Structure 1
Amino acid sequence: MSASLSPPRSATDPARTTRSQWLAVAVLSLSTFVVVTSEMLPVGVLTPMADGLGITQGAAGYSLSITGLVTAVTAPLVPRLLGRLDRRLVLASAMVVLAAGNALTAVAPGFGLLVVSRALLGIGMGVVWGLAAVIASRLVAPRNAALAVSFAVSGVAAASVIGVPLGTVVGNAFGWRTAFAVLAGGGIALAAGLALALPRLPRPAAPAGAGAGTGGQSLLGTPAVAAGLALIVLLVTAHFAAYTYVRPVLEERTGLAPGSIALALLAYGACGLAGNFAAGALAARRARFTLLSLATGIGAAIALLALLGSVAGVAYAAVALWGLTYGGLSVGGQIWMTQSAPHRTEHVTGLYVGVFTAAIALGAFLGGTVVEASGVTPLLWSAAALALAGLAVGAVGPGPARR
């Protein structure tokens, strides 16, 4: 396990992690699950959502860009603004904000209120995702820190396994607005769960030997951090440019019915969950190798869909490979960052989440632009080219120290 993922002491400093501490990690994981499901649900209900709001599919896809942009601003600011505030209460409050965003989405009559609702969601998401991995390592014994981070971030993959497919099923059966209303209720329940299950979490003490600076500029001056962020930008942009429009791809190129699309997304998410834990274990020892492997898989999966996506069996296999490799990207990138700046985990994580979500926004925007102008097949080839560029950056740029 990587020592850089854990602070000098856990929140209560036990010799081993207790059941109540693992319960706290589980609630944190459920929170990231609801956050990412809320962000990504438009992917599964894109067509009926666009019809219900009276907008184009490209405009509906831009809703992911709105959330990503707001999160990109929020996440890096969070460590600077929190000061001595109890992180437990901050997380609970952020889940309430997220619930409000989902509730407004459920009642939005058109694009205007949709923009407001997705901006609120972005604020909640920036706080929860920006703090989740760092807080997870504080909840457990130091030797379990890397596993706790993988569990916390597994909510991202679990959102694809359960959240988006289940939301798609709910949306197909009861309407897309109902799916967002259910997420609003879940956010309120988890706000209470975070307040009850987590211990008091003041600002973490700086480890011995940590640098005095806390600014994002000095972090960007760290070669391994800068290279890792460039890699993440390219891969996440490539992924979301294509994945935001995976439903139209599977409808138009593969000819799948809504129920079959939900099954394909379920396969994507199940593989993503496996990829999350596999990448977490491998990246703790070999972060560069892990990220390069994930980049190769993401690019190959998107290229397969572009080349042979009209064949149902190939489309299912490509979606599964896509899930397996992209599912490990979030935790793999998180470990790359904390190994590159081990004494400033809150700040580097905030910067990482900000860049990650900005890339989500960029990918969704570029995807919508290409779809509107050229269609889904040129979109897939463009995304595959971006993934190849990410692979090149990761191969030639500096990486974190080997563990």
Structure 2
Amino acid sequence: MTQTVLVDSNTTSALTPAPAPWSAVAAIGIGAFALVTAEFLPVGLLPQIANDLAITQGQAGLMITIPGVVAACSALLTIGLTNAFDRSHVLWVLLSLLVVSNSLIACANGLPLLLLGRVVLGVAVGGFWTIGVSLGARLRPDAVGKATSIVFSGVTLGTVAGVPAGTMLGALFGWRMSFAVSAVLAALLVLALVRLLPAIRPEPSSGLTHVPSVLKIPNVQLGLVAVALIFTGQFCAYTYFAAYLGEVSGVEPSALSALLLTYGIAGILGNLFCGWWVGRNLRLAVLSTSLVLGCSMLLLAAIGKNPAAVTLAVVMWGFGFGMLPIAIQSWIFNAAPNHLESAAALFVSMGQLFMGAGALVGGITVDNYGLTSAVWVGAAGTLCGSLWIIARFFSGTPVLLSQP
């Protein structure tokens, strides 16, 4: 079955009378880059942070859990509390929170302040992805596909350039410097958004009151269960990705940034491939995403000390991770094309919640059974997502999980 994401160009044109400059779209893409970099920066710095603050790696892994849980709540609260506000003003505030978050973390002298900074980040992440994800299409209704791809390119660039660069900076000057530099760049981004973004009125169909009706759509329900399984598995393992490569696979610190860069480049390819494939067979795109992720984790856990196997697993994992947001979000957006902000809020809320849940499960398994256990559990969770997709997406008429 072939499906594509549809955006009502008449509604978009009414909300934004004239196409905005491409620089405004690019600024939102850079905002996505900054948030993704900040959210996943601890993955490459986890061992350093744990050693410096005298905490376990499982406790340090709460840096991924906390923003995920907070973002799950802030995603829904954002459309409820900001329904009447200019979207450009909302983005200014959310990116300003990124400055606060990174500054707090750079100055943290213990776990409480460290996690407070991540709570602030969670508010920014949940709100930004709920509001910002659909703004590319609204700013440039004459080139929806190109505008959307620019916004999402920030996600890929965050993993390709942001996380490896932050890891390298941390290796050279300490992990605090990575967050300090991120705070400065976020401040410059806020100034750019103030300068470049035009007024953007909220969508008439946005708001918390539309969420229950979106939840009643069968394909939305099916997609959200897939999100729960796949994101839990992915972030159970990914949170301890750098630690596993260093301590189990024996990757030297000097080579870790290069391997993370390889992961990111594979993510770009996965992103581009999935952007093409979702327009041809969306169900297979979603299924292949979970299979590639799960099989890469299995390979790394089974023969993670073999250099060739490690490289192959990293490439597969990056490719699958690049596909993940495009595949799942396309499915949910196609199921509710007239309620994009409400659908985005549900996707972000579920994704962030189970991202945090996966990191928490990974932390518990690492502290009790070692790093390899997190990869095995991650593979199991992700492949359970594959089984769900096979059982539901390919079983004919979708089955309602709850009656309207």
Could you state the TM-score of these two structures normalised by the residue count of structure 1?
0.93
With over 3 angstroms needed to count, the CA separation of the structure-2 counterparts of 1:69 and 1:370, relative to structure 1, is same
- Kindly indicate whether residue 301 of structure 2 is the aligned counterpart of residue 306 of structure 1: yes
Where structure 1 has 5 or more consecutive residues not aligned to the other structure, the ranges are: none
1:348-379 per-position Cα deviation (integer Å, ceiling 9, x unaligned): 10111010001110010000011111112222
Paired AA for residue 341 in structure 2: E
What residue number does 1:128 align with? 128
What residue number does 2:289 align with? 294
SS at match of 1:371: helix
- Kindly indicate whether residue 40 of structure 2 is the aligned counterpart of residue 40 of structure 1: yes
- Kindly indicate whether residue 373 of structure 2 is the aligned counterpart of residue 371 of structure 1: no
What residue number does 2:389 align with? 394
1:357 equivalent among 349, 352, 359: 352
What residue number does 2:22 align with? 22
Contact 1:146 / 1:284 at 8 angstroms: preserved in 2?
A: no
Contact 2:75 / 2:346 at 8 angstroms: preserved in 1?
A: yes
With over 3 angstroms needed to count, the CA separation of the structure-2 counterparts of 1:64 and 1:150, relative to structure 1, is same
What residue number does 1:96 align with? 96
What residue number does 1:226 align with? 221
1:213-262 per-position Cα deviation (integer Å, ceiling 9, x unaligned): 93433222211001101111111111111011011211122111112111
Give the Å deviation of 1:3: 5.2
SS at match of 1:151: helix
Paired AA for residue 246 in structure 2: E
**Greater mean alpha carbon deviation, residues 111-120 or residues 214-223:** 214-223
1:264 equivalent among 238, 259, 274: 259
Give the Å deviation of 1:206: 4.0
Paired AA for residue 93 in structure 2: S
What residue number does 2:244 align with? 249
Contact 1:31 / 1:155 at 8 angstroms: preserved in 2?
A: yes
Paired AA for residue 35 in structure 2: V
5 Å matches for 1:181-220? 181-206=180-205, 214-220=209-215
What residue number does 1:319 align with? 314
What residue number does 1:77 align with? 77
What residue number does 1:31 align with? 31
SS at match of 2:134: helix
Give the Å deviation of 1:328: 1.5
With over 3 angstroms needed to count, the CA separation of the structure-2 counterparts of 1:176 and 1:3, relative to structure 1, is closer
Give, in whole Å, the separation in 2 of the partners of 1:317 and 1:349. Answer: 33
Contact 1:150 / 1:277 at 8 angstroms: preserved in 2?
A: no
Contact 2:291 / 2:382 at 8 angstroms: preserved in 1?
A: yes
Give, in whole Å, the separation in 1 of the partners of 2:301 and 2:284. Answer: 26
Paired AA for residue 378 in structure 2: A
Could you state the TM-score of these two structures normalised by the residue count of structure 2?
0.92
Paired AA for residue 156 in structure 1: V
Contact 1:161 / 1:272 at 8 angstroms: preserved in 2?
A: yes
Give the Å deviation of 1:13: 4.8
Paired AA for residue 168 in structure 1: T
Give the Å deviation of 1:157: 1.6
Give, in whole Å, the separation in 2 of the partners of 1:303 and 1:294. Answer: 14
Give the Å deviation of 1:115: 1.5
1:369-394 per-position Cα deviation (integer Å, ceiling 9, x unaligned): 11111112222121111111101112
- Kindly indicate whether residue 379 of structure 2 is the aligned counterpart of residue 380 of structure 1: no
1:302-358 per-position Cα deviation (integer Å, ceiling 9, x unaligned): 011011110112101111111111112112222111100011100110111010001
- Kindly indicate whether residue 350 of structure 2 is the aligned counterpart of residue 347 of structure 1: no
Give the Å deviation of 1:194: 1.5
CA RMSD of aligned residues (A): 2.0
Give, in whole Å, the separation in 2 of the partners of 1:335 and 1:238. Answer: 20
With over 3 angstroms needed to count, the CA separation of the structure-2 counterparts of 1:70 and 1:383, relative to structure 1, is same
What residue number does 1:87 align with? 87
Contact 1:6 / 1:138 at 8 angstroms: preserved in 2?
A: no
Give, in whole Å, the separation in 1 of the partners of 2:355 and 2:5. Answer: 29
Give the Å deviation of 1:51: 1.2
What residue number does 1:147 align with? 146
2:331 equivalent among 328, 336, 360: 336
Give, in whole Å, the separation in 1 of the partners of 2:149 and 2:123. Answer: 23
Give, in whole Å, the separation in 2 of the partners of 1:367 and 1:214. Answer: 35
Give, in whole Å, the separation in 2 of the partners of 1:213 and 1:120. Answer: 22
Where structure 2 has 5 or more consecutive residues not aligned to the other structure, the ranges are: 398-404
Give, in whole Å, the separation in 2 of the partners of 1:77 and 1:286. Answer: 33
Give the Å deviation of 1:91: 0.3
Give, in whole Å, the separation in 1 of the partners of 2:224 and 2:8. Answer: 21
Give the Å deviation of 1:54: 1.6
Give the Å deviation of 1:7: 4.6
Give the Å deviation of 1:12: 4.0
2:6 equivalent among 4, 22, 32: 4
With over 3 angstroms needed to count, the CA separation of the structure-2 counterparts of 1:51 and 1:218, relative to structure 1, is same
Contact 1:65 / 1:362 at 8 angstroms: preserved in 2?
A: yes
Give the Å deviation of 1:58: 0.8
5 Å matches for 1:58-77? 58-77=58-77
Paired AA for residue 365 in structure 2: V
With over 3 angstroms needed to count, the CA separation of the structure-2 counterparts of 1:308 and 1:221, relative to structure 1, is same
Give, in whole Å, the separation in 2 of the partners of 1:364 and 1:80. Answer: 27
Query: Aligned pair count?
Result: 392
**Greater mean alpha carbon deviation, residues 119-128 or residues 21-30:** 21-30
2:235 equivalent among 240, 249, 257: 240
SS at match of 1:214: helix
